[in-house]
């Protein structure tokens, strides 16, 4: 299960919200258009039973969770009950099967991205670590693509940092699309394709206002990394804590893909080189120090993403132009290297993969990949 979030203030916040959500007067405070139809009210009665089961710590099946997601997208569940359900899961935690049920529903109700490639990787972090680093994983995508591997990056605008993947990509003039021909052309010519999440996950728009209203992370924060519409067979995922690492380890084993999950001990959802970091893959689980892979330890201040989206873009461009600081470049190279190791099915050592990533960046191929990507997608 996903553990309950720590902190008395948040527990009180969640408890207060549950109390408000179960109040018959709460409907007046929360906008919804799903209360008048008799059939929809009958669905809402079923949801009351679901809520009672979750509050009683009963486990829902994968199929039940999938059907709940379908009902949400059809407008059959009042916003107030969706909010209550999300709050309940945040308080008691969610199982792997429950999370996969929501994943099934999002993928089945969304727009698929069927790419003309057998093997490609998504490099992504869960976000929410509060570190406001520069766009490390997005930089790593272009380094990996520059090294000759294919990347299908799934992302969105910033949630907790100054600039998310979509912010920095769009800032370069890229036009987001779900046109499969355009996506495949980008992948074929540059080795890189970007999938802007809102164009594919239709279900997310139904819960977006509710998530903003609730004000704390929900199960939908955990779904982002596992609902890439192209369903890649490889993934490098950064998580902010070891509890999430255990959760996704079980999720990926159920899905059946090649993966590496990374977490820096200081709480970064990527390899920060600010201290030790842990890696879990299909084949091994190990704690590394920066020295173990021939890297110098980095200071947290060297990874900051700036105060504006323009700052974030400037750092992003400088990394791929090989003019950034050594610390910034080394962090990107390290994250890219572990992605390359996943693509190589673990057959190359991490030292070999670091050398491949470094050559991609320092030779200018990563920057050239970015330029071609912008040209094709603008």
| Range 8-109: architecture per CATH | Up-down Bundle (1.20)
User: Which region among 149-153, 174-178, 205-209 has the lowest average model confidence (pLDDT)?
Assistant: 205-209
Residue 150, CA distances (Å) to 17, 153, 279, 352, 363 in order: 44, 10, 22, 18, 18
> So what's the pLDDT on residue 219?
87
pLDDT band at 37 (very low <50, low <70, confident <90, very high): very low
Tens digit of each residue's pLDDT (9 = 90 or more) over 52-72: 999 999 999 999 999 999 999
Domain boundaries, the chain: 8-109, 121-377
The rounded mean pLDDT for the chain is 88
pLDDT band at 321 (very low <50, low <70, confident <90, very high): very high
User: Who's near 344: CB < 8 A, 6+ residues apart?
Assistant: 353
Pick the CATH number of 121-377 from 3.40.309.10, 1.10.357.10, 3.90.79.10, 3.40.1030.10: 3.40.1030.10
Read off φ and ψ for residue 158, nearest 5 degrees.
Answer: -60, 140
Tens digit of each residue's pLDDT (9 = 90 or more) over 185-238: 999 999 999 999 999 998 888 888 888 788 777 888 889 899 999 999 999 999
Reference 221, options 129, 136, 132; nearest CA is 129
pLDDT band at 148 (very low <50, low <70, confident <90, very high): very high
Judge whether 8-109 and 121-377 match in fold.
no
Can you state the angle between helices 326-343 and 309-320, rounded to 10 degrees? Answer: 70
> So what's the pLDDT on residue 51?
93
> So what's the pLDDT on residue 244?
92
Sign of the C-alpha dihedral, residues 183, 184, 189, 193? positive
């Amino acid at each position: 299960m996903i553990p309950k979030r720590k902190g008395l203030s948040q527990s009180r916040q969640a408890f207060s919200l549950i109390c408000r959500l179960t109040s018959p007067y709460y409907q007046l405070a929360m906008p919804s258009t799903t209360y008048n139809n008799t059939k929809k009210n009958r669905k809402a009665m079923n949801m009351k039973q679901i809520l009672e089961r979750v509050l009683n710590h009963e486990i829902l099946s994968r199929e039940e969770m999938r059907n709940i997601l379908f009902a949400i997208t059809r407008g059959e569940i009042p916003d107030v009950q969706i909010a209550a359900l999300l709050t309940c899961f945040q308080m008691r935690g969610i199982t792997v099967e429950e999370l996969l049920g929501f994943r099934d529903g999002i993928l089945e109700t969304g727009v698929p991205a069927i790419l003309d490639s057998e093997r490609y990787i998504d490099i992504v972090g869960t976000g929410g670590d509060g570190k406001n680093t520069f766009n490390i994983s997005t930089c790593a995508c272009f380094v990996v693509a520059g090294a000759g591997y294919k990347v299908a990056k799934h992302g969105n605008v910033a949630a907790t940092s100054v600039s998310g993947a979509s912010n920095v990509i769009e800032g370069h003039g890229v036009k987001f699309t779900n046109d499969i021909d355009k996506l495949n052309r980008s992948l074929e010519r540059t080795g890189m394709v970007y999938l802007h999440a809102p164009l594919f996950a239709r279900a997310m728009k139904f819960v977006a206002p509710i998530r903003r209203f609730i004000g704390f992370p929900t199960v939908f924060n955990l779904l982002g990394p596992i609902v890439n519409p192209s369903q890649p067979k490889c993934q490098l995922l950064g998580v902010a804590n070891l509890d999430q690492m255990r959760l996704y380890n079980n999720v990926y084993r159920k899905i059946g893909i090649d993966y590496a999950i990374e977490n820096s001990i200081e709480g970064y959802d990527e390899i920060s080189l600010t201290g030790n970091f842990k890696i879990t893959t299909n084949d091994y689980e190990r704690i590394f120090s920066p020295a173990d892979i021939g890297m110098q330890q980095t200071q947290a201040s060297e990874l900051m993403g700036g105060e504006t989206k323009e700052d974030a873009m400037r750092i992003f461009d400088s990394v791929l132009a090989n003019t950034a600081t050594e610390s910034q470049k080394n962090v990107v190279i390290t994250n890219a290297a572990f992605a390359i190791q996943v693509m190589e099915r673990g057959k190359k050592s991490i030292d070999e993969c670091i050398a491949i990533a470094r050559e991609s960046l320092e030779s200018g191929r990563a920057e050239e990949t970015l330029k071609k990507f912008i040209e094709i997608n603008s």
